[in-house]
Structure 1
Amino acid sequence: MLVFSLVIVTNDFEVRVGARTLLTAPKQQLRVQPGDRIGLVGRNGAGKTTTMRILAGETEPYGGSVTRSGEIGYLPQDSREGNLEQTARDRVLSARGLDTIMRNMDRQQEIMETTEDPRRRDQAIKKYARLEERYHSLGGYEGNAEAAQICDTLGLPARVLDQPLKTLSGGQRRRVELAQILFAASAGSGKSTTTLLLDEPTNHLDADSIMWLREFLAKHEGGLVLISHDVKLLAAVCNKIWFLDAVRAEVDVYNMGYRRYLEARAADEARRRRERANAEKKAAALKEQAARFGAKATKAAAAKQMLARADRLVGSADKVRQKDRVAHISFPTPAPCGKTPLQATGLTKTYGSLEVFAGVDLAVDKQSRVVVLGFNGAGKTTLLRLLAGEEHTDGAGGIVTGHGLKIGYFAQEHNTIDPNKTVWENTIAACPDAVEQDLRSLLGAFLFSGEQLQQPAGTLSGGEKTRLALAALVSSRANVLLLDEPTNNLDPISREQVLQALRTYTGAVVLVTHDPGAVRALEPERVIILPDGDEDLWSDDYMEIVELS
Structure 2
Amino acid sequence: MLQARDIEVRAGARLLLSPISFQVIPGDRIGLVGRNGAGKTTLTRILAGEGIPASGQVVRSGTLGYLPQDPRSGDPEQLARDRVLGARGLDHVMRRMREAEERMADGSESEREEAMAAYTRAENQLQAAGGYAAEAEAARIAANLGLPERVLGQPLKTLSGGQRRRIELARILFSDADTLLLDEPTNHLDADSITWLRGYLQGFPGGLIIISHDVELLDAVVNKVFHLDANRAEIDIYSMNWKRYLQQRETDEKRRKRELANAERKASQLMAQADKMRAKATKAVAAQNMAKRAEKLLSSVEGERTQDKVAKIRFPDPAPSGKTPLRGDGLSKSYGSLEVFTAVDLAIDRGSKVVILGLNGAGKTTMLRILAGIEEPSSGEVLYGHGAKLGYYAQEHETLDVQRSVLDNMKSASPNLNDTDVRKVLGSFLFTGDDVEKPAKVLSGGEKTRLALAMLVVSAANVLLLDEPTNNLDPASRAEVLNAIRTYAGSVILVTHDPGAVEALEPDRVLVLPDGVEDLWSEEYAELIQLA
Q: Same fold (TM over 0.5)?
A: yes
Q: CA deviation at 1:208?
A: 0.5
* Aligned ranges 1:498-517 → 2 under 5 Å: 498-517=481-500
Q: How big is each residue's C-alpha offset from its partner over 1:449-474, in whole Å with a ceiling of 9 and x where there is no partner? A: 11221222222221221111111111
Residue aligning to 2:47 = 55
306-315 or 519-528: which moved more? 306-315
* Aligned ranges 1:225-236 → 2 under 5 Å: 225-236=209-220
Q: Is residue 414 of structure 1 aligned with residue 397 of structure 2?
A: yes
Q: Is residue 136 of structure 1 aligned with residue 130 of structure 2?
A: no
Q: CA deviation at 1:285?
A: 3.2
Q: How big is each residue's C-alpha offset from its partner over 1:427-451, in whole Å with a ceiling of 9 and x where there is no partner? A: 1121211132222221121111112
Q: Specify the code of the residue in structure 2 equivalent to 1:444.
A: G
Q: CA deviation at 1:111?
A: 6.0
Q: CA deviation at 1:289?
A: 3.5
Match of 2:263 among 270, 279, 296: 279
Residue aligning to 1:188 = none
Q: Is residue 91 of structure 1 aligned with residue 74 of structure 2?
A: no
Match of 2:154 among 163, 174, 180: 163
Q: Specify the code of the residue in structure 2 equivalent to 1:48.
A: K
| 1:271–1:49 distance in 2 versus 1, CA, 3 Å | same
Q: CA deviation at 1:128?
A: 4.4
Q: Is residue 519 of structure 1 aligned with residue 502 of structure 2?
A: yes
CA distance in 2: counterparts of 1:25 and 1:231, whole angstroms: 28
Residue aligning to 1:18 = 12
282-291 or 235-244: which moved more? 282-291
**What SS does structure 2 have at the residue aligned with 1:84?**
coil
**What SS does structure 2 have at the residue aligned with 1:443?**
helix
2:183–2:211 contact (8 Å) kept in structure 1 = yes
CA distance in 2: counterparts of 1:249 and 1:32, whole angstroms: 20
CA distance in 2: counterparts of 1:117 and 1:535, whole angstroms: 57
Residue aligning to 2:38 = 46
Residue aligning to 1:101 = 93
Residue aligning to 2:307 = 323
CA distance in 1: counterparts of 2:98 and 2:243, whole angstroms: 52
Match of 1:148 among 129, 139, 147: 139
* Aligned ranges 1:107-126 → 2 under 5 Å: 107-108=99-100
* Aligned ranges 1:211-360 → 2 under 5 Å: 211-360=195-344
| 1:108–1:360 distance in 2 versus 1, CA, 3 Å | closer
1:345–1:361 contact (8 Å) kept in structure 2 = yes
* Aligned ranges 1:334-483 → 2 under 5 Å: 334-395=318-379, 397-483=380-466
| 1:113–1:347 distance in 2 versus 1, CA, 3 Å | closer
Q: CA deviation at 1:317?
A: 2.7
2:74–2:83 contact (8 Å) kept in structure 1 = no
**What SS does structure 1 have at the residue aligned with 2:529?**
helix
Q: CA deviation at 1:123?
A: 7.1
Instruction: Report the count of equivalent residues.
Output: 532
CA distance in 2: counterparts of 1:309 and 1:127, whole angstroms: 84
**What SS does structure 2 have at the residue aligned with 1:23?**
strand
CA distance in 2: counterparts of 1:113 and 1:530, whole angstroms: 39
1:367–1:507 contact (8 Å) kept in structure 2 = yes
Q: Specify the code of the residue in structure 2 equivalent to 1:50.
A: T
Q: Specify the code of the residue in structure 2 equivalent to 1:428.
A: K
CA distance in 1: counterparts of 2:343 and 2:99, whole angstroms: 41
2:19–2:56 contact (8 Å) kept in structure 1 = no
2:7–2:53 contact (8 Å) kept in structure 1 = yes
CA distance in 2: counterparts of 1:111 and 1:375, whole angstroms: 38
**What SS does structure 2 have at the residue aligned with 1:344?**
strand
Q: CA deviation at 1:334?
A: 0.3
CA distance in 2: counterparts of 1:175 and 1:465, whole angstroms: 20
Q: Specify the code of the residue in structure 1 equivalent to 2:519.
A: D
Q: Specify the code of the residue in structure 2 equivalent to 1:283.
A: A
The TM-score normalised by the length of structure 1 is: 0.92
Q: Which runs of 5+ in 1 are unaligned?
A: 1-6, 186-192
| 1:165–1:312 distance in 2 versus 1, CA, 3 Å | same
Q: How big is each residue's C-alpha offset from its partner over 1:230-270, in whole Å with a ceiling of 9 and x where there is no partner? A: 11111111111111112221111111110011111111222
1:443–1:471 contact (8 Å) kept in structure 2 = yes
CA distance in 2: counterparts of 1:361 and 1:95, whole angstroms: 42
CA distance in 1: counterparts of 2:231 and 2:300, whole angstroms: 16
**What SS does structure 2 have at the residue aligned with 1:67?**
strand
CA distance in 2: counterparts of 1:307 and 1:122, whole angstroms: 95
CA distance in 2: counterparts of 1:451 and 1:330, whole angstroms: 24
2:469–2:496 contact (8 Å) kept in structure 1 = yes
Residue aligning to 1:66 = 58
Q: CA deviation at 1:349?
A: 1.5
Residue aligning to 2:74 = 82
Q: CA deviation at 1:307?
A: 3.8
Q: CA deviation at 1:105?
A: 3.2
Q: Specify the code of the residue in structure 1 equivalent to 2:435.
A: Q
380-389 or 275-284: which moved more? 275-284
Q: Specify the code of the residue in structure 2 equivalent to 1:150.
A: I
**What SS does structure 1 have at the residue aligned with 2:480?**
helix
CA distance in 1: counterparts of 2:291 and 2:270, whole angstroms: 7
1:79–1:170 contact (8 Å) kept in structure 2 = no
Q: Specify the code of the residue in structure 2 equivalent to 1:500.
A: N
1:98–1:140 contact (8 Å) kept in structure 2 = no
| 1:458–1:309 distance in 2 versus 1, CA, 3 Å | farther
2:260–2:301 contact (8 Å) kept in structure 1 = yes
Match of 1:8 among 2, 6, 10: 2
| 1:122–1:546 distance in 2 versus 1, CA, 3 Å | closer
**What SS does structure 1 have at the residue aligned with 2:356?**
strand
Q: Specify the code of the residue in structure 1 equivalent to 2:142.
A: C
Q: Specify the code of the residue in structure 1 equivalent to 2:400.
A: I
CA distance in 2: counterparts of 1:255 and 1:46, whole angstroms: 21
CA distance in 2: counterparts of 1:460 and 1:316, whole angstroms: 36
Q: How big is each residue's C-alpha offset from its partner over 1:68-96, in whole Å with a ceiling of 9 and x where there is no partner? A: 11111100110224211101111011111
| 1:339–1:109 distance in 2 versus 1, CA, 3 Å | closer
CA distance in 1: counterparts of 2:335 and 2:98, whole angstroms: 26
Q: Specify the code of the residue in structure 2 equivalent to 1:509.
A: V
CA distance in 2: counterparts of 1:108 and 1:196, whole angstroms: 35
Q: How big is each residue's C-alpha offset from its partner over 1:5-24, in whole Å with a ceiling of 9 and x where there is no partner? A: xx111111211112221212
**What SS does structure 2 have at the residue aligned with 1:201?**
coil
Q: CA deviation at 1:216?
A: 0.3
**What SS does structure 1 have at the residue aligned with 2:69?**
coil
**What SS does structure 1 have at the residue aligned with 2:387?**
coil
Q: CA deviation at 1:125?
A: 6.0
Residue aligning to 1:189 = none
